């Protein structure tokens, strides 16, 4: 099994629920085993006209899928949730119900017309590095040879950046006072029955 990190984002609809359901949906894929999910972060929109703030998170997956097939699975999941990819010639970023970005796939360095690994913008994005540091502060960017924690420190001191606010997952359905935290639920949510 390979280790992959993905970025999850949404700024349309009930974004917290969209990300939760996307995480659960990925856990239903036979070749994917969810390992960890960060807290969600509310993020100011950047380089776009929209006033809809994003909710972002980062997840760790164990997978037997090669990177191209994993990317295809992520894109198919976006489409399943209603994501439509607009005109790429439009200026700036567009609103989206779900965005799933493949950030890292083990220490693979890969560059084609359809996929670049590691994700070329991840080290410049606070909404990626902050949640990544929650679940894997010591993971190393294979090109920069910097840990997630070091990249976050670099970014925090480098320049002005958009507002990124850590928030909480809502309790899962049926959650009772004193039960395991929602984050623990979400980390285990992709496990098959009998593994919980």
Which residues are annotated as catalytic?
Answer: 83, 96, 99, 101
Please answer whether residues 90 and 62 qualify as being in contact, where contact means their C-beta atoms are separated by less than 8 angstroms.
no
Please answer whether residues 196 and 160 qualify as being in contact, where contact means their C-beta atoms are separated by less than 8 angstroms.
no
Burial tier of 177 (Cβ tally within 10 Å: 0-12, 13-18, 19+): exposed
Give the tokens for residue 88: 């790429």
Residues 6+ apart with CB under 8 A from 101: 6, 7, 9, 74, 119, 122
């Amino acid at each position: 099994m390979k280790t992959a990190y993905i970025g999850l984002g949404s700024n349309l609809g009930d974004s917290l629920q969209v990300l939760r359901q996307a995480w659960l949906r990925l856990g239903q894929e036979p070749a994917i085993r969810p390992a960890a999910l960060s807290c969600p972060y509310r993020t100011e929109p950047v380089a776009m006209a929209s006033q809809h703030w994003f909710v972002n998170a980062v997840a760790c997956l164990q997978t037997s899928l090669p990177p191209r097939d994993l990317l295809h699975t992520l894109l198919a999941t976006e489409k399943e949730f209603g994501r439509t990819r607009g005109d790429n010639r439009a200026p700036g970023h567009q609103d989206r119900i779900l965005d799933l970005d493949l950030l890292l796939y083990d220490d693979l360095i890969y560059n084609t017309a359809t996929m670049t690994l590691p994700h070329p913008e991840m080290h410049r994005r606070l909404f990626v590095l902050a949640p990544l540091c929650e679940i894997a502060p010591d993971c190393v960017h294979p090109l920069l040879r910097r840990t997630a924690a070091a990249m976050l420190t670099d970014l925090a001191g480098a320049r002005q950046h958009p507002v990124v606010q850590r928030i909480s997952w809502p309790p899962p359905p049926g959650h009772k006072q004193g039960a395991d935290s929602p984050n623990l639920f979400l980390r285990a949510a992709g496990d098959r029955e009998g593994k919980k």
